[in-house]
Amino acid sequence: MDPAELAFELSLGHEAFSLALIKRLCHVCSHGIRQWTGRNYANAQAFAVGRARRRARGRGRPAVNDPGPLAAPIPRAFAEEVALLLASQGIATELTRAAGGVHILVNRAELARASVIVVEEYPEGLVTAAANRTRARTRPPARPEADRWFGPEAWIVFVIVAACVLVFVGEERAGGSEVRTVLLDFGASRPAHVRTGEYWRLVTAMFVHIGARHLLANTLTLLVLGPALAAALGAPRFAFVYVVAGKLGNFFSYRLADPDIVSAGASGAILGVLGALGSQRIRFQTSARYRGWQVVAALLAYLAIAVGAGPGVDSAAHIGGLVAGAGIGLLLPPPGHAPAAVDRGLSAACAGTALTLVVGAYLALVRAS
């Protein structure tokens, strides 16, 4: 403390100096209380104010004999804080209930000095400062899930992975996931079948996998890429991107592949997720809730899927899914970029479209069986 300030406080007399000391001890103690016991900061200050008043009155400190309101009514917790500030400067205060909070009363002779102290401490005004304090206390905490890989929207990724695993278990129990007839029975795509009108295979093929290594590679890649896009778009829009991009990728493969080739797997849909991640980052930078290292992980996943494609890999579905996902990502805004009603409607439409495509495809598979 500056020597001049110390001399000024000493000049206020023993009582004022004691109150100033109480104020400083209150701040230290309340900080400890918040950290170690979690008690309310306002309650700690209110206790200190009451203690300061009792000591002042016990030593004959003058009460508020000619009261005048300092400001409009404010919440009691904040009024106790202001009263503590004024008490530390030797100004007696009283709190009285009023509509909308409490009034801070001071002697009219000290009203001007009290106003100067309050303005220095709260330049925006007591009412505004109280409102800001209330909003700060009621504001929901920052979402810690934004810093976690699997946030609350990642449930849709787990649902898709679980569906792929369940279908794979069914394939194995039906005779083997590498048996051609079993793959076709579970919905794998074959251009010759699709050309007869079985377009539902373009959707069901996304959940069929050929061998355990194929399933493991795709599910792990989806767990790398999926949560980032789910956090940026939300579960309904993520499902839309995944299903539509996967279907368009399989359609691209159907148009280019040999009529007798049997293809299956989620690779086209996963590359669609990667394409949407990139286009979301380009167009909606502020809402793409993923970091640079996640983009690097996505690129490495792409290298594992597309660049390292072997002879049996459906590159046409990969390229088609990637392009489709990038286009959807450019057109589909993340939540918060439209009025609330429009935003909810868009999410509902995305969820409804994805669900209709998947359920309709599997109903057609059951009828064809």
Flag whether 355 is in a domain. yes
Of 90, 107, 138, the residue that ends a domain is 138
Flag whether 145 is in a domain. no
Q: Identify whether residues 280 and 201 lie together within a single domain.
A: yes
- The first and second tokens of residue 40, run together, are 């309310």
Q: Identify whether residues 14 and 88 lie together within a single domain.
A: yes
CA atoms within a 13 Å half-sphere pointing along the CA-CB vector of 98: 16
Question: Has 177 been annotated as catalytic?
Answer: no
Q: Identify whether residues 174 and 25 lie together within a single domain.
A: no
Of 104, 138, 172, the residue that ends a domain is 138
Exactly one of 177, 189, 263, 267 is catalytic; name it. Answer: 267
Of 138, 159, 179, the residue that ends a domain is 138
- How far apart are alpha carbons 275 and 229 in whole angstroms? 10
Question: pTM of the predicted model, to two decimals?
Answer: 0.59
Question: Has 253 been annotated as catalytic?
Answer: no
Exactly one of 318, 337, 347, 369 is catalytic; name it. Answer: 318
Query: pLDDT, tens digit, for every residue of 87-119?
Result: 888 888 888 887 778 878 888 888 888 888 888
CA 219 to chain centre: 24
Tell me what pLDDT residue 297 has: 62
Query: pLDDT, tens digit, for every residue of 181-207?
Result: 999 999 999 999 999 999 999 999 999
Query: pLDDT, tens digit, for every residue of 116-137?
Result: 888 888 888 877 887 877 776 6
Q: Specify the 3-state DSSP secondary structure of 11.
A: helix
- How far apart are alpha carbons 203 and 258 in whole angstroms? 19
What angle (nearest 5°) sits at the alpha carbon of residue 184, between those of residues 182 and 276?
115
Query: pLDDT, tens digit, for every residue of 266-285?
Result: 888 998 998 898 888 777 76
- How far apart are alpha carbons 357 and 304 in whole angstroms? 28
